[in-house]
Amino acid sequence: MSRFLEGVGASAGRALGPVRWIDWDIPLVPHRTIRPEEVEDEVERFGQARAHALEYVGHLQAETTRRIGTFEGKVFESQAMMIEDPDVVQGTLRYIRDNYICAERAFEWQVMEMRIRMQEAAHAMLVDRLADLHDVRVRVLSHLLGHSDPSDLVVEGEEPSVLVGAELPPSMAARLDPEHILAVVLSGGSRGAHGVILARALGIPVVLAVGSQLQSIEQDSRLLVDGRTGEIRVNPSPQEVEGFHRAVAQASHRREMLQKLAGRPTETVDGVHTTVQANLDLPHEVQEAVRLGADGVGLFRSEFLVIGRREVPDEEDQYNAYRTVLEAFPGREVTLRTFDIGGDKFPLFLALPPEDNPYLGWRAIRICLDMPDLFVNQLRAAARAAEAGNLRLLIPFVTTVDELKRTRDLLMEVYASLGMVDGGTRIPLGLMVETPAAVETLDLFAPYVDFVSLGTNDLTQYVLAVDRGNAKLSKLYDPLHPALVRMYRRVAEQSARHSIDLSVCGELAGDPIGVAVLLGLGYRKFSVALTGLPEIREIIRHVSTKDLKRLVGQLDRAESGEDIRGPVRSYLADRGALAEQASVGLSEE
């Protein structure tokens, strides 16, 4: 009989396959004392193990860069820093020399201390790096103990399967083959963990934070996994399996049909033209966006330039990255979001303050304005790249008008430094509406912005007081909660009143029911993840904005998100706009 488990979706996609448990660890490290005359031999052994680990990490970085991309390769820089960390090295040497213990036990103790410090700091970025620390620990100890490389666990030729375990170390993730590893399910982890980032880049579905219930999965089980919703079926029924295969076949056929329509305008049945743009994480994704017929880029995330870096990114590197995307969309909008770091995304070069709640702390525009060297580099690169196309700058996590004013002042200084005072491209400046403060004071921001973009992800968690990374609260995280729908309406009305260009770049724009609701509220520009772009364009071609405006208006007194979803779902089904979904949830029960 099938059972239902739930975690947090971290990499979209569906998969069905047998379980393959991984135990990324080594046997208990023996406690072995040494004689004084053996101390220097142990010191040398430790140095050789570190050298081996550094060489292997360098190999992994080069191979990952070649196979996946430059940004993905940089995730191994943090491991190199851990291997060379003075506290780790000197602490291990002290244990060897002062306590006369073997190198492997001394290193194990030092890593244990470092792990405790990271856990006690309770900072999202440090927690994300625990998998890196474990990776380093296993690699150094494996060499000292003469064990084989644990990474070989996932590259042996076995049948395609679903990888299940506590966490996904980066060195293992970098060697995953999507032909053999269909999905990854973890009891812990986080979206910002390097192993999860690598799996996502490989297109492998990931569900994390399943918790202790993962231990109930037996070795011979089969799993039906949805990496978008975080839903898992253990030993799915024949009907569920049949539904999965049918939906996969239909999705493949649907993709082929949608590809043929990629060059057509995206208009509703009542003739309303819409703009459907792409969300990009990395410059090389732009080719896929062009192939899918995106109307430009509505959200170009710039964090790939800083995550895993030991120093502030070079202006020239940024300029080349921005220009690459602009040249792929000549004349069309490319909206670059300035560094949205902090929260769960802290680069290595930042001095890390201890914060109880980093999502409400030092992040995004707050960091950029406090670190003008970092921000001015980005603004200079953007201003130079803007000469090659239609670039716009989107500022995240804004809560005060002063933050926008200071950003404009910095831009003017950049123009002056580049000799653009009397000419040259002026970059439109936009506000990312993702805080209640931005919603409530949009009229005050209006004189200082050229456009606004609704960020539904953070706005949802801030309005509903729900951590979107907490699997236990997933049912409460509802971007169609009536409070939020009313806010979306207010943003649309204020934008129209002040003649501000309006778009949506949050995940709600990639949800068929969500985009239908937004169309009914007056939104006409959407930025969507590449995987959902063809489907959203097709949804829009099936609906009438007049019908949706009337329908959403009738739902103004809805008491829950499901009260809104139900009627909109029925409308889309009646219009033939909803493709059959390979859901692994409880909808059939």
Catalytic machinery residues: 194, 505
Secondary structure class of 448 (helix, strand, coil): helix
Angle, vertex CA 313, rays to CA 388 and CA 306, nearest 5? 105
The full DSSP string for 544-583 is: -HHHHHHHHHHTTT--SHHHHHHHHHHHHHHTT-PPP---
Walk across the sheet containing 3-6 and list its strands: 3-6, 231-234, 222-226, 14-21, 161-165, 181-186, 206-208, 8-11
3-state SS string for 170-197: HHHHCCCCCCCEEEEEECCCCCCCHHHH
**In the structure encoding, which two tokens stand for residue 531, read together?**
């995987």
Q: What amino acid occupies position 165?
A: G
DSSP summary character for residue 23:
-
Give me the residue label for tokens 């692994």.
584
Secondary structure class of 252 (helix, strand, coil): helix
CA separation, residue 220 to residues 20, 138, 223, 315, 438 (Å): 8, 27, 10, 52, 51
3-state SS string for 144-172: HHCCCCHHHHHCCCCCCEEEEECCCCHHH
Secondary structure class of 54 (helix, strand, coil): helix
Q: Are 190 and 126 in contact (CB under 8 A)?
A: no
The total number of residues written for the chain in this structure: 589
CA separation, residue 378 to residues 316, 323, 437, 573 (Å): 10, 13, 26, 45
Which stretches does DSSP call E strand in 373-490?
390-395, 429-433, 451-454
**In the structure encoding, which two tokens stand for residue 489, read together?**
């309406």
Work out the end-to-end distance of the chain between its first and last CA atoms, rounded to an integer number of angstroms.
Answer: 13
Alpha-carbon span 535 to 135, nearest angstrom: 39
